[in-house]
Amino acid sequence: MKYIVLTLLLISSLWSVELGWSDDYEASLKVAQKENKNLYILITSSTCGWCKKFKNTTLQDKEVLKMLNEKYILVHLDRDIDDFPSWMKVKSVPRHYFVTAKGKEIFTFLGYWDSLDFKSFLGDVEEKIKQDIK
């Protein structure tokens, strides 16, 4: 029985461990400034089925993990528990925000996306960042 409980705990926590999520927006901004990275902020709710599906499918894709880890400081906020900036409009979840290290929104979108679509969005975000730098 112990083995089953430990295995379930390990499996349920793998997505957060592998990506190194923070739940502190302000502290993450400071880290982003130090590391010269942007933030990817995922806002979910514990009662959201689409949020769970996104975590259990898209965020398990090795390419998605690599792309997120290389480019972003990762922030996961629970809409019903955590504090987030008032400029973030979070009625529906999952909500995805891409934000500069200075706290300026780069790109946002709503909903569950499979791995292929999410990787495409990550490419769109990178293009937008490049255009904004020019």
Q: What is the DSSP string of 75-103?
A: EEEETTTS---TTS--SSSSEEEEE-TTS
CB atoms under 10 Å from CB of 42, counted, come to: 21
Give residue limits of the domains in the chain.
Answer: 20-133
Is the confidence at residue 63, as pLDDT, over 90?
Answer: yes
Fold of 20-133: Glutaredoxin (3.40.30)
What local confidence, expressed as pLDDT, does residue 84 receive? 86
pLDDT: which is higher, 72 or 85: 72
Banded model confidence at residue 2, pLDDT cuts 50, 70, 90? low
Tokens 């790109």 found at: 107
Global pTM reads 0.82
